[in-house]
A and B are shown apart, each in its own frame.
Chain A
């Protein structure tokens, strides 16, 4: 068997180069002592009293590394735009195909929807107190809609409301970031009152819960739209093939 025919020379060179890179990286990683990593977490735990949030992870995600969260929200927005742009073409000509929906499934999914959405809202609102936050809660809400779409194939979301909520929350998030810049001279300055003796209460932590609620609305609406397009596109293709 000729190896050159099976694997072109370019692939062999690339695989050799990447294995050399892997070996170098492993060598670098092996020389780092684990004591060096301790300091970062301790510094953040000491600084956590500044934001007055009970959950230290949230204060890192939404405050100390808040710019990263802005970037993540932008990435998610671009991904949603891509999905809608690619899949919205196939949706138009399929209005007449009405699928049979099961009675038990549709009623059961509607009963479950309220519970799951409530759980998602709980995760979002308590993001600065307990594990979880905007991203997790938003995706929980989207999974509730996924259940609804699987049970009722003819369901359509009202895209106007979703788009309005998503863009308003995105704009407000950027505004919160900029108001912090103008009032405190740093991006994401915590301009709302956040007294330290109120740690652990629902209204505490200044802008951190506000940011997480905005991120939750944005992620929830975007993920719901993605889930709708994925389940719908699939269904219509099936009908057309038959």
Chain B
């Protein structure tokens, strides 16, 4: 069962990462990138590293996304080039 969850999380992370690359809207890209962090939180927790999972949840998913979004707020919304 846990193996299935791990496999599903890996596949979801890969899908979300590809989505973050090909998306033209930067805000959407950042939110999808947050999904990669969320998947790694689940993986860290399942691989018995709750300390790293907490760090990833707080810094990788919370604060870095907020800083990215604050940066996007006064640059262009569309990807250039």
Please list the residues of chain A having a beta carbon within 8 angstroms of any beta carbon in chain B.
55, 57-58, 123, 131-133, 135-136, 139-140, 142-143, 146, 223, 227, 230-231, 234, 237-238, 241
CB atoms of A131 and B51 under 8 A apart: yes
B12 at the interface (CB under 8 A from A): no
Q: Which residues of B contact A133 (CB under 8 A)?
A: 51
Among residues of B, the one whose C-beta sits closest to the C-beta of A226 is B67
Q: Report how far A241 CA is from B50 CA in the complex, Å.
A: 45
A109 to chain B, nearest CB (A): 14
Q: Report how far A189 CA is from B10 CA in the complex, Å.
A: 42
B19 at the interface (CB under 8 A from A): no
Q: Mark B38-81, 1 if CB is under 8 A from A, else 0.
A: 00000000000011011100110011001100110110000000
Please list the residues of chain B having a beta carbon within 8 angstroms of any beta carbon in chain A.
50-51, 53-55, 58-59, 62-63, 66-67, 70-71, 73-74
CB atoms of A227 and B74 under 8 A apart: no
Q: Which residues of A contact B74 (CB under 8 A)?
A: 234, 237-238, 241
B74 to chain A, nearest CB (A): 5
A195 to chain B, nearest CB (A): 25
Our pick among B51, B53, B59, B70 for the contact of A139 (Cβ within 8 Å) is B59
Q: Which residues of A contact B66 (CB under 8 A)?
A: 143, 146, 227
Among residues of B, the one whose C-beta sits closest to the C-beta of A140 is B58
CB atoms of B63 and A143 under 8 A apart: yes
Our pick among B50, B55, B73 for the contact of A135 (Cβ within 8 Å) is B55
Contact A234 to B70, CB < 8 A, known contacts A136-B58, A139-B62: yes
Q: Which residues of B contact A123 (CB under 8 A)?
A: 54
Q: Report how far A142 CA is from B53 CA in the complex, Å.
A: 18
Chain A contact surface mostly: helix
Our pick among B53, B59, B62 for the contact of A131 (Cβ within 8 Å) is B53
Contact A131 to B58, CB < 8 A, known contacts A146-B63, A234-B74, A237-B74: no
Among residues of B, the one whose C-beta sits closest to the C-beta of A238 is B74
CB atoms of B67 and A139 under 8 A apart: no
CB atoms of B70 and A136 under 8 A apart: no
CB atoms of B55 and A142 under 8 A apart: no
B57 to chain A, nearest CB (A): 8
Q: Report how far A121 CA is from B80 CA in the complex, Å.
A: 42
CB atoms of A132 and B51 under 8 A apart: yes
Contact A131 to B54, CB < 8 A, known contacts A139-B59, A234-B73, A234-B74: yes
CB atoms of A143 and B58 under 8 A apart: yes
CB atoms of A136 and B54 under 8 A apart: yes
CB atoms of A57 and B51 under 8 A apart: yes
CB atoms of B70 and A231 under 8 A apart: yes
Contact A238 to B73, CB < 8 A, known contacts A131-B50, A132-B54: yes
